[in-house]
Amino acid sequence: MTVKETAMTGSEILVACEKVSTEAEVTGIKRSYRSMEYSPESCIPGSGKRTGWGLRMVRNTKLGVAGEWGMIDPFRLVDKVIGSCRYGSEAVFSFPENSPEFDSPPEGDELKQMTHEQVRNYLDQLQEEVQKIHPLAALSARIKWGGNSIFILNSRGLSGSYEKTTSHSTFSVSLPSDNGLIQSVYTLNTAGSLPVKDQVIDMLMLPLQQGDIKSAGTSGKKNIVLSPVAFSLLLQAVRAGVSGKLLAEGASPLAGMEGRQVVGSKLTIRDLPGLNSGAANAPFDSEGVPTRDKTLFENGIFTGFIHDLESAAVCRTESTGSSGRNLGEHSKPVCTNLAVDPSVSGSVNTLDETGSGILVTSILSAGGSNAASGSFVFDCGRVFVFRRGEIQGYRDGCVLYGNAYDALSKTAAVGSRQYRAGTDLLPFISIEGLSVR
């Protein structure tokens, strides 16, 4: 289906809504992908296509939403949204009117043209690199890559579309050791090209370092270095906290903190929907509002919330173009490509600057954490003890706990290189005096 054909179907759905709604909005997604399942035992190429439609409507002042993937019947879709409006929440905002021309993100030609053969070679090379480091290590991976066409149309005249090429990769390596099996999993999303190999190797092999077993150690405050993968989980609190929805509900711990120092002055945290290599890039959000890159924390000072139309209306402000949602679901403000600025000097992994402490490369479980309040309880798998910047050995597990904002306010050092973790772009981070048990 071309963008033009998509627009026609979208228009048909809008026409079907004319007499039964005050306002209506149609979103469409077309995905066409290739995939590769890779393991020591097999290598299975795949492909697929999916088309989906979402419809949001205001009827009798109530907001309703529904969606369909695959076989689309406009009238059935409208009927479902009418049903959803009956028990929907009160609509407190209007859909946007026609917007200026959107700049479509540049096409990821390298990724778009990538064949199964090329991806298999890429994975074979990665497997060779892995085995150079650990001859017994076995790489498994799934890479899914392809094009996405996104389309939006509403009854107030807004119309927009864009295309982008992204990849979603999960790599895992397992390694038998004297002390049991060690496994490392690394998941990341990119746009335009496959993940950079040396970054994948760095993140994947980091948790597999060998060394002497250290005793469990005592509970108390310790210096902690978080890898980008572990840091990404700590930032869940920031993602929730900066959301205008949480502010509108009166539950954000950042309420009233704008312009104040909230996290360490070494931290500048940005939301970058304009980042071309970021898989979450988009010229407009899921409500058709143009996106823009935003600094959320400038040298630790909180600069403001992100909003979609609803949270902006409740908080009497403007949408920041931060609406995100799955097809057929309600909008909420979301971060896109969350990035933390690397330091201009210093080491990649901050171990030298930190001196002694514990390096956490992955979080096994975050059960009991509450992203809304910022409290966290992270059970870390294997962690590494370091002294004078050198890894001395590992210990089997520890629990980190506390409040994410409090932890981030104790940032002692930030690494000099960014790595991808999911859609985030993050360096290593060193935190002073985090509670460990």
Partner 1 sequence: MQKYRELAEKLLAGSEADFAELHIEQTAKTTVAQAGLNHTNSGPVEQFTGTARVLVENKWGIHEFSSPDQMQNALSLASSLAMHSRPYLNPFPILPPAIRDTYSDDSNGVPLSDVSLREKTFLCRHYCDLLGASLTRGSVKVTYDELLRDKVIVNSSGTSVREVENLGSIKAQAVLPGDFAASEQFAVRGSFDLFRGREKHIERMSRNLLTRAKTTGIASGTYRVILDPELTGILIHEAFGHLVEADFLENNPAVAHMLRTGSAVGSECVNIIDDSLLMNHPGSMKWDDEGTPGARTKLVSSGRIVSWLHTMETAAKFDAVPTGNARISEHGKPPEARMTCTYMEPGTTSLEKLKLRLNNGLYLKGFMGGATDMDRFSIAVQEAWVVRNGTIHKPGTPVVISGKVTDVLGSILDTGDDLQLTGSLSGCSRRGGNAIAVTYGGPHVLISEMQVR
Residues 117-146 that bind partner 1 (CB under 8 A): 117, 120, 138, 140, 142, 144
DSSP 207: G
Could you give the C-alpha distances from 429 to 383, 407, 415, in angstroms and in order? 15, 11, 6
Interacting span for partner 1 (CB under 8 A) from 95-103, 159-167, 275-283, 326-334: 326-334
Interacting span for partner 1 (CB under 8 A) from 48-56, 148-156, 221-229, 343-351: 48-56
CB of 276 to partner 1, least distance (A): 24
Q: Does 314 bind partner 1 (CB under 8 A)?
A: no
Q: Does 214 bind partner 1 (CB under 8 A)?
A: no
Interacting span for partner 1 (CB under 8 A) from 112-120, 198-206, 269-277, 293-301: 112-120
CB of 225 to partner 1, least distance (A): 19
CB of 146 to partner 1, least distance (A): 11
* Rg (the chain; Cα; Å): 23
Q: Which of 5, 18, 46, 75 binds partner 1 (CB under 8 A)?
A: 46
Q: Does 399 bind partner 1 (CB under 8 A)?
A: yes
CB-CB neighbours of 200 under 10 Å: 23
Interstrand relation of 375-387 and 363-365 (parallel, antiparallel or unpaired) = antiparallel
Could you give the C-alpha distances from 49 to 31, 32, 55, 247, 437, in angstroms and in order? 6, 4, 21, 38, 48
Q: Which residues contact 130 (CB under 8 A, 6 or more apart)?
A: 137, 139, 173, 201, 204, 205
Q: Does 344 bind partner 1 (CB under 8 A)?
A: no
Closest C-alpha to 165, from 113, 122, 200: 113
CB of 77 to partner 1, least distance (A): 8
Q: Does 89 bind partner 1 (CB under 8 A)?
A: yes
Q: Which is nearer to partner 1, 75 or 97 (CB)?
A: 75
Q: Which of 5, 15, 18, 50 binds partner 1 (CB under 8 A)?
A: 50
String marking each residue 346-385 x if it binds partner 1 according to CB under 8 A:
----------------x-xxxxxxx-xx-x-x-x-xx---
Helix (H) or strand (E) holding 48: strand 43-59
Q: Which is nearer to partner 1, 383 or 412 (CB)?
A: 383
Q: Does 277 bind partner 1 (CB under 8 A)?
A: no
Q: Does 221 bind partner 1 (CB under 8 A)?
A: no
For residues 148 and 29, is the Cβ–Cβ distance under 8 A? yes
String of DSSP letters for 210-233: --EEPP---SEEEEEEE-HHHHHH
Q: Which of 67, 241, 264, 278 binds partner 1 (CB under 8 A)?
A: 67
For residue 355 the two structure tokens come to: 């001196």
Q: Which residues pair with 185 in a beta bridge?
A: 172
Q: How far apart are CA 21 and CA 19, in angstroms?
A: 6
Closest C-alpha to 374, from 282, 238, 244, 281: 238
String marking each residue 229-258 x if it binds partner 1 according to CB under 8 A:
--------------------x-x-------
CB of 168 to partner 1, least distance (A): 9
Q: Which is nearer to partner 1, 66 or 152 (CB)?
A: 66
